[in-house]
Amino acid sequence: MSTDTVSPSPHAEAEINKSLSNEDKIKFLRDMVRIRRFEQISLKAYQQGKMGGFLHLYIGQESVAVGSISVCGENDHIITAYRDHGHALASGMSMNECMAELFGKATGCSKGKGGSMHFFAPAKRYWGGHGIVGGQTPLGAGIAFALKYQDIKGCCLCYMGDGAVNQGAFHEALNLASLWDLPVIYIIENNGYSMGTSQKRSSAYPEAGLAARAEAYGMDWDVANGEHIYEVRAKTWEAVQRAHEQSRPTILELATYRYYGHSVADANAQKYRTKEEIEKYKNEHDPLNLWRNTLLDEGVITEDLAKEIQQEANEEADASIKFAEDSPFPEDSAMLQDVYWEVDNDTESGKTGRHFF
């Protein structure tokens, strides 16, 4: 973590940021506020017992998803791990379909079959939502492979946590990405803790940082402060250009912080970190505050507009709770749907032989 101030970001002058309209900048604030409100409300519903399973909150990290996804074009794809609500909303998914999924309802983005960790929207080039740490990293390489194979100028942003760097699958994916010149960008959202184990206690060679693992594969890498939209956009755009123009992969490590535990079920969230540490991030590094203040300083928004944005997000989130509550649970008949494409589509293959036992 670096900046302690809200002084103007040098990255505001980056080409990708200079071209931003006021509407764009306001949209980033709106997206971050929406993500936070969505999660605050979902936490409340979780605590009321309205959903099952895990709830991995993204609160504190919003600038990473919103900033990086904002530089994506129509041929750029997103895939992430289980802390996926922020990326889903930043990719354009609606609060309704996401909240309904948390509630396990038939109207959820995955029809209630995936839950918190498994949001999907391929039509928005958002490929999940993956539960096993690091398991999505070869998939990200595969998405990049498919783009390159078809001569499509695009890339895949593959998000992961700092804990995932120690998985073998990740290192295999890095080797393939560099060996085969795949346009994939591994974005390590380094919030300092792999569940309850700090980076110092989990990852060797701390003085080099995590992104430097790219050196072993002859891959470009960069480290940035993930709390500021301008910086996230500038750094991501460099990597996207490298992917588009040179078909080369990048590891981009973005320093960030999660205010809550690994998941809501993380009973020790306040034990492996000091209260002071958490408060310091909330007070001095909150990505929403930083961006809101930047926009106020730039005269892009007024206090009134900021309040209005918050109010709209509150209403949208409340409406999504109502939508989720009013939606039906899936029928039991849904259990055997969406297992096999050929069965679902009633093809000759799907009708031949017994598929379910």
Partner 1 sequence: MRKITYRKALNEALDEELAHDDMVVVIGEEVAEYNGAYKVTEGLWEKWGDKRLIDAPISEAGFIGMGIGASMLGMRPVMELMFFSFAYVAFDQMMNNASSVRYMSGGLINCPIVVRGPANGGTNVGATHSHTPENIFANMPGLKVVSPATAYDAKGLMKTAIRDNDPVFFMENTMLYGMEWEVPENSEIEGGELIIPLGKADIKREGTDISLIAHGRAVITALEAAKILESEHKINAEVVDLRSIRPLDEETILNSVKKTNRSVYIEENKPFCGVGAQISSMIMEKAFDYLDAPVLRITSVDSPAFYSPPVEKRQLPYPEMIVEKALTIC
| Coil vs helix vs strand at 232 | helix
Question: Which H or E element spans position 73?
Answer: none
State the pairing for strand pair 193-194/184-190: unpaired
User: At closest approach, how far in Å is the CB of 78 from partner 1?
Assistant: 13
Q: The tokens of 327 are what?
A: 């939606």
Report the site for partner 1 in 251-310 (rule: CB under 8 A): none
Say whether the peptide bond before residue 196 is cis (omega within 30 degrees of 0).
no
- Which residues, in sequence order, are CB contacts of 276 under 8 Å at separation 6+? none
Q: Which H or E run contains 327?
A: none
Please confirm whether the linkage preceding 129 is cis (ω < 30° from 0). yes
Q: Show the binding pattern over residues 95-124: x = contacts partner 1 (CB under 8 A), - = does not.
A: -------------xxxxxxx---x-xxxx-
Q: Examine residue 332 and tell whether it contacts partner 1 (CB under 8 A).
A: no
Residue 352 binds partner 1 (CB under 8 A): yes
Range in contact with partner 1 (rule: CB under 8 A) among 26-34, 48-56, 251-259, 335-343: 335-343
Residues 121-140 that bind partner 1 (CB under 8 A): 121-123, 127-132, 135, 137-140
92 in contact with partner 1 (CB under 8 A) = no
Cβ of residue 168: shortest distance to partner 1, in angstroms? 6
Tokens coding 184:
């994939």
Nearest to 182 by CA among 215, 138, 212, 223: 138
| β-bridge partners, 250 | 185, 220
Comparing CB distances to partner 1, the nearer of 244 and 282 is 244
Q: Quick one: 86 or 104, whose CB is closer to partner 1?
A: 104
Establish if 187 lies at the interface with partner 1 (CB under 8 A).
Answer: no
- At 80 the three-state DSSP class reads strand
Contact code string over 19-58 relative to partner 1, x by CB under 8 A: ----------------------------------------
Q: Are 130 and 162 in contact (CB under 8 A)?
A: no
For residues 55 and 234, which CB has a smaller minimum distance to partner 1 in the complex? 55
d(CA 74, CA 229) in angstroms, rounded, equals: 20
Asked if 216 interacts with partner 1 (CB under 8 A), we say no
Binding site for partner 1 (CB under 8 A): 77, 79, 108-114, 118, 120-123, 127-132, 135, 137-143, 145-147, 149, 168-169, 172-173, 175-176, 179-180, 337-342, 344-345, 347-349, 352-357
